[in-house]
Amino acid sequence: MKNDNLSQIWKSQPSDLSLDGPDNIIKKAKKQRNGQLITIAVLSVTLLILISFTIKYANSNWNNFTLGLLFMISSLAFRVIIEFISMYRKESQLIMLDNVAYQKYLKAYYRMRLRTNYIITPLCFGVYIFGFTMLLPYFKKEFSEGFYKYILISGTISLVIVAAIIINSLVKEHRFLNHLKGK
């Protein structure tokens, strides 16, 4: 992003919307973009680990173990794709639109993000959990009782932490949308 050019263009335009000035918009956009990049990185690393695990341990027989891994991989891949599309669509609009139009676009963008976070994210999370639970009987059979309990406990704690992060992200985006609306 060319901050100086955007700042000069946006400062020269009148705006009756309640959103802060161009420097603050750019700052918030960068912060949100960095958050999306972190999300994409974490999801991608998890996805690569699952794909590697699948290549190494999934046998050629189609069973619930393979299906569980497929559910986990597909839900993560779908979520990564959505994050990429969302991030790059917003950046392209930032460059193409003027201040007032971009502020209106941001309102629509964050309403769409909320729908994504209320519908698609819980579905992906549910499919991921379903896939994980499909793996548990195989883990119980293949690993020692202690290691199985470790997987069960650490998996549950990880899922709770991810759920907390998702909820926190949802609250932040909801607050930002309310700020854009001037509430």
Q: Specify the pLDDT at position 16.
A: 47
> For the residues of 150-182, what is the DSSP string, one character each?
HHHHHHHHHHHHHHHHHHHHHHHHHHHHHHHHT
Instruction: Of 4-18, 132-146, 167-181, give the lowest mean pLDDT range.
Output: 4-18
pLDDT at 21 over 90: no
Tokens of residue 101, six digits:
């139009």
Q: Specify the pLDDT at position 55.
A: 86
- The 10s digit of each residue's pLDDT in 57-96 is 777 777 888 889 999 999 999 989 988 888 777 766 666 7
Instruction: Characterize 23-44 residue by residue with b for buried, 16 or more Cβ atoms within 10 angstroms of its Cβ, and e for exposed.
Output: eebbeebeebbeebeebbeebe
- The 10s digit of each residue's pLDDT in 30-50 is 777 787 788 888 889 999 998
Averaged pLDDT score across all residues of the chain:
80
pLDDT at 13 over 70: no
Beta-carbon count within 10 A of 153 CB = 10
